[in-house]
Structure 1
Amino acid sequence: MTALWHGFADMAEVDGAEVTIVRGEGVYVWDDTGKQYIDGAASLWHANIGHGNPEIADAVRAQMVELETFHTFGPWTNARATELADRIAGLAPLPDSKVLLTSGGGESIETAVKLARLFHAIKGEPERHHIVSRSNAYHGTHGIGTSILGMPYREGFGPLLADTSQVEWDSAVALEEEIQRVGPDRVAAFVFEPVIGAGGVHVPPPGYLDEAVAVCRRHGVLVVADCVIAGFGRLGGWLGVERFHLHPDLITFAKGVTSGYLPLGGVIVAPEVAAPFWDEPGQMFAHGATYSGHATCCAAALANLDVLARDDLVHRAMELEADFHATLSELTSHPLMGEVRGGLGLMAGVALDLGAIDDDPSLPGRFTSAARDAGVATRGLRDGLAIAPPLIIELEQVAEIRDRLAAALDTL
C-alpha cells in the first residue's frame, strides 16, 4: 500500500503495483528488482542529457554549500538567477528579450497567458482576454493550462478559465475563422506547441505555422509558443522555434532546461511585450512564485546548458532524426500498428491501428504496459505511445527500442 498519489493514474490499479526506479545511467534506468529499462521518453520528455550526469550533481552541491537560494521579488535576486536569465535571453530569437523564471512548464503557461492579457489591458484594450489554442494541445495541469487543453482532461473540474476556445491543430483557416467569430478586438493570444507532444506527436504541415503567425499579426493577437517539450535540443535547436524561423511574442520553456535534474521553467518575453513594464515606472506584473529563480535550480540549468553546448547535444536531434524515424517506422509492418508520427527532432508517436483500437479500446493502455514489460519506459498516448529518448542515445539503442516494442506488439 502507498500514500503517494500518482499523476494521471487509476490509483485503485496502481496501488501495490508501483514500478520503483532506483538508479539511472545514460539512457537506462533500473527498478528496485534490478530490471533494466531503456528510457524511451526521457522520463517525461525532460532527461535530455541522460541520467546520472555528475557535472550537474557537482554544480548543485557547490551552489547549495554557498547559498541554497534567495527569492527574486522586488529588488532582490541571486547571482545564478541573473546569470541564467541573461544566458537564456541570449538564445531568444529577438535581441533584448526578457526572461521570467518559474518552477516548471505549467507555471510558465500561467505566467505567459496572464502577461498576455495584462499587456493588452495596459495598452488600452482590456477586452482582449480570449485565448485560442489547438486540438490535441497539452499545456500542463494548472488552472489556465487545463482551460486551454485540446485533450479530454477538462471534465469534472467545474468552471475553468472563461473565454477560451480550440481550433483544429493544422488549419490556419480555422484560426482565422475563430478569431473572426470571437471578434479580433477580444482575442489576447494564440497558444501553440511547435510540434504537438503529449497530444500525439503531430508535426505541423509545411507552411502552417507561418500562416498561423501571419493571422495573429493581422489582428494584433499575441503569439505564445509553448516550447516546454520542444526546447533544449528536442527539435535540434535551443528553443525549438528555430526550426520554423519563428519570432513569438512569448516562449514558455521548462523540462530540458535542466534535463529534469531540478524543477525550473520560464517565459521569454519579446522586447515589445516587455517594454510597457520596463521603460517607465508604475507598471507592475503582480505575479511570481516563491521558487522563481531558485539559485540551486538555476545552477543545475547553467551546468546543463554547458553540457548541451559543449557536447553539441542541442543539435544532435537534427543529425539523428531521419534514422530515428526510419528505424521506428519499421514497426508499421506489424498487423497491430497504424503509423509512426514524427520525423522532426527526436520524438515520435508510435500509433496503433485505429480499427484495432475500435475493437479493443484498452489496447493503447495494454501496449504501454507491454512495452514496460519488454524493458521500455515510455509514456502512453491515446492511440499508442510516445518515444522521445535522451539526446545522448545512439542509433544502436534506437534499434533496441524498436526491437523491444516489436516484442511488446507480439505479446499483444
Structure 2
Amino acid sequence: MSEAQVRADDRAHVFHSWSAQGLINPMPVEKAQGSHFWDYEGRKYLDFSSQLVNINIGHQHPRLVAAIQEQAAKLCTIQPAFANDKRGEAARMIAEVAPGPLNKVFFTNGGAEANENAIRMARLHTGRHKVLSTYRSYHGSTATAITATGDPRRWPNEPVAVGVVHFWGPYPYRSPFYASNEAEESERALRHLRDTIVFEGPGTIAAILIETVVGTNGILVPPPGYLAGVRAICDEFGIVFIADEVMAGFGRCGEWFAIDKWGVTPDLITFAKGVNSGYLPLGGVIISDEIAETFRERPFPGGLTYSGHPLACASAVASMQIFKEEGIIEHARMLGEDVIGPGLEQIKQRHPSVGDVRGLGVFWAVELVRDDRKTPLVPFNAAGAAAGPMTEVAAACKERGLWPFTHFNRVHVVPPCTTSVEEVREGLTILDEALTVADGFYTS
C-alpha cells in the first residue's frame, strides 16, 4: 500500500484517541526493527519514546514474533473459563518474579482494565468504597481508572465514578511540601497522606493506588522511605496498597518491578505494556494470597472475553524468557547507571533550560524551565500556541532523526530496554543539540 493510500484511509476512517480529529496529521510508519522505525520515505527514527513507553524488548524481536506465529498455528483463542497452557505458564512466570506472596494473576487486555479490576478487588476485599490516588498520575481511561487519574485527561470525563480522593505525592524538584531535601519530602508527603486518610475516614478507604515511579506525569522517583511509609500506613489502617507498574514494570526501571528497588511488597500490582512490549494487547493484576482468598468461595464479579488470550500469553511467556536469557533487565539497569544518567547530567550542565533530570533504568525525564526560578518552559497543560516552545524542541529532535516523548515541559528519555550503548549515546547527542532551542527561551 502506498503512503498516499495509508494517509487517505487514516484521515477518512480512523478516529484517533486524545485528539481533535481535524487538527492532526499522523505520520504513516512503514516498518520497525529494534530501536528504530521508518516512514514511507525511508526516513529512519531512533525511538526514544518506545512508542507509548511499552516497546521494552524493542521492535520486531524475532523470538517474540516466532512465538506468536507458533501459537497462532496451534490455538488462536479459547475463552477464559478453560485452562490453557500458555495462560497458566504466563501466570506462573509472572508470579515467580513478583515480590512476596503475590501468586495469582488476573489477566486483562491492558493497563486501564488492570487498574479498574484492582480497585474492584480492593473494594470487595475490604468492604469499603474510597480510593486514594495522586494528582500527578495516569491510571487509564476506563471509568474508575480515569477518575483515579490525577492529570487533566480526567477533567472532560467527569463526573464518571465516585469515591476517588486525590492527594499530593512527593516531587522533590517542585516540592508541594516546601521540603529542602529528600528526607523532608518523604516525611512530609507521608504526613500529608496520613492527614488525608484521617479526614476522609480510615474505615471508608479501600485502597491507595500509586504509580511506583510516576510515568507520563514526570517520571517522579519516590524519595527513600516513601514507599515503605505508604506500606506501613496501609497496614495500620487496613488499606489495600495497589502499585501501578503498567509503565514502570518489566525492566523499564532496571528491575522486574520498580518497587523491587525499595524492597516493598504491595497487595496488588497492575501491569501491561512491557510484559510483552505491546506486541499483543495484554495486562493484568498480580494478587496477594490474602486477597485471592477473599474470592475462594465468593465469585469475583468481573471478566473479559479476551482475558488471558492464548496469543497474548504466548507472547508474554516468550518475552519473559528473552528478558532472562538475554540479560535485558541488567542491561536496562546498566544503561541508566552508566550511560543515560551521567549523559543527562552532562547535558544539564550545558543547558540553562534544563532544570532537572531524574530517573532509573531507561525511564528518565528532562524538565525544561524558562529561568532560574524554575518557571516551566510551557504552562501546565499547555496547548496550541502556548505549547510552542516544546513543539519546537520536539521538531528539532525529529529533524535530526530522534523520535522523542514529550509531556508538558518535559522530554522523557525512554528508549527500549534493548537499545545499545551506542544508540543511546547517539540519541543523547541529538537531544543535546535540540535543547539549544529551549535555551533560546531562557531568561536569566
Please confirm whether the aligned pair reaches a TM-score higher than 0.5, indicating the same fold. Answer: yes
Is the 1:324–1:395 Cα contact (8 Å) retained in structure 2? no
Correspondences of 1:318-333 after superposition (within 5 Å): 318-322=333-337, 323-332=339-348, 333=350
1:5 offset after TM fit, Å? 2.3
1:125 matched to which residue of 2? none
Gaps of 5+ in 2: 1-7, 171-188, 380-384, 439-444
Is the 2:102–2:268 Cα contact (8 Å) retained in structure 1? no
Is the 2:102–2:267 Cα contact (8 Å) retained in structure 1? no
Is the 2:57–2:417 Cα contact (8 Å) retained in structure 1? yes
1:361 offset after TM fit, Å? 4.2
1:8 partnered with 2:18? yes
TM-score between both structures, scaled by the size of structure 1 = 0.92
1:340 partnered with 2:357? yes
For 1:350 and 1:11, the matched residues in 2 are separated by 29
Q: Which runs of 4+ in 1 moved over 4 A?
A: 358-361
1:253 offset after TM fit, Å? 0.6
1:330 offset after TM fit, Å? 2.5
1:20 partnered with 2:28? yes
For 2:351 and 2:136, the matched residues in 1 are separated by 26
> Relative to 1, partners in 2 of residues 1:325 and 1:380: Cα closer, same or farther, differing over 3 Å?
same
Task: Say which is worse superposed, 213-222 or 149-158, in terms of deviation.
Answer: 149-158
Q: The residue matched to 1:263 in structure 2 has which SS? A: coil
Is the 2:392–2:437 Cα contact (8 Å) retained in structure 1? no
1:335 offset after TM fit, Å? 3.6
For 1:365 and 1:141, the matched residues in 2 are separated by 25
Q: The residue matched to 1:111 in structure 2 has which SS? A: helix
Q: The residue matched to 1:47 in structure 2 has which SS? A: coil
For 2:135 and 2:19, the matched residues in 1 are separated by 23
1:107 alignment partner, one of 113, 117, 138: 113
1:271 alignment partner, one of 289, 300, 306: 289
2:67 matched to which residue of 1? 59
> Relative to 1, partners in 2 of residues 1:238 and 1:5: Cα closer, same or farther, differing over 3 Å?
same
Q: The residue matched to 2:156 in structure 1 has which SS? A: coil
1:393 matched to which residue of 2? 419
2:400 matched to which residue of 1? 374
1:383 offset after TM fit, Å? 1.1
Correspondences of 1:83-102 after superposition (within 5 Å): 83-95=89-101, 97-102=103-108
> In structure 1, what residue type is equivalent to 2:262?
F
1:274 offset after TM fit, Å? 0.7
> In structure 2, what residue type is equivalent to 1:139?
H
> In structure 2, what residue type is equivalent to 1:378?
P
1:209 matched to which residue of 2? 227
> In structure 2, what residue type is equivalent to 1:336?
S
1:255 matched to which residue of 2? 273
Correspondences of 1:90-239 after superposition (within 5 Å): 90-95=96-101, 97-121=103-127, 128-170=128-170, 171-239=189-257
Task: Say which is worse superposed, 46-55 or 390-399, in terms of deviation.
Answer: 390-399
1:369 offset after TM fit, Å? 3.1
For 1:379 and 1:263, the matched residues in 2 are separated by 21
Q: The residue matched to 1:237 in structure 2 has which SS? A: coil
Q: The residue matched to 1:57 in structure 2 has which SS? A: helix
> In structure 1, what residue type is equivalent to 2:136?
N
> Relative to 1, partners in 2 of residues 1:158 and 1:357: Cα closer, same or farther, differing over 3 Å?
closer
Is the 2:105–2:285 Cα contact (8 Å) retained in structure 1? yes
Is the 2:134–2:167 Cα contact (8 Å) retained in structure 1? yes
Is the 1:71–1:78 Cα contact (8 Å) retained in structure 2? no
For 1:155 and 1:291, the matched residues in 2 are separated by 30
Gaps of 5+ in 1: 122-127
Is the 1:368–1:384 Cα contact (8 Å) retained in structure 2? no
For 1:177 and 1:257, the matched residues in 2 are separated by 36
CA displacement, residues 240-259 of structure 1 (integer Å, 9 cap, x when unaligned): 22111111100001111101
Task: Say which is worse superposed, 283-292 or 362-371, in terms of deviation.
Answer: 362-371
2:5 matched to which residue of 1? none
> In structure 1, what residue type is equivalent to 2:77?
T
For 1:304 and 1:253, the matched residues in 2 are separated by 14
Q: The residue matched to 2:60 in structure 1 has which SS? A: coil
1:92 offset after TM fit, Å? 1.9
CA displacement, residues 296-323 of structure 1 (integer Å, 9 cap, x when unaligned): 1111111111110001112222222122
Kindly report the root-mean-square deviation, in angstroms, between the aligned alpha carbons of the 2 structures: 1.7
CA displacement, residues 106-146 of structure 1 (integer Å, 9 cap, x when unaligned): 1100010011101112xxxxxx1100011211111111111
For 1:335 and 1:208, the matched residues in 2 are separated by 30
How many residue pairs get aligned? The number is 398
> In structure 2, what residue type is equivalent to 1:163?
G
> In structure 2, what residue type is equivalent to 1:18?
P
Q: The residue matched to 2:322 in structure 1 has which SS? A: helix
1:71 offset after TM fit, Å? 1.0
Q: The residue matched to 2:144 in structure 1 has which SS? A: helix
> In structure 1, what residue type is equivalent to 2:98?
A
1:362 partnered with 2:368? no
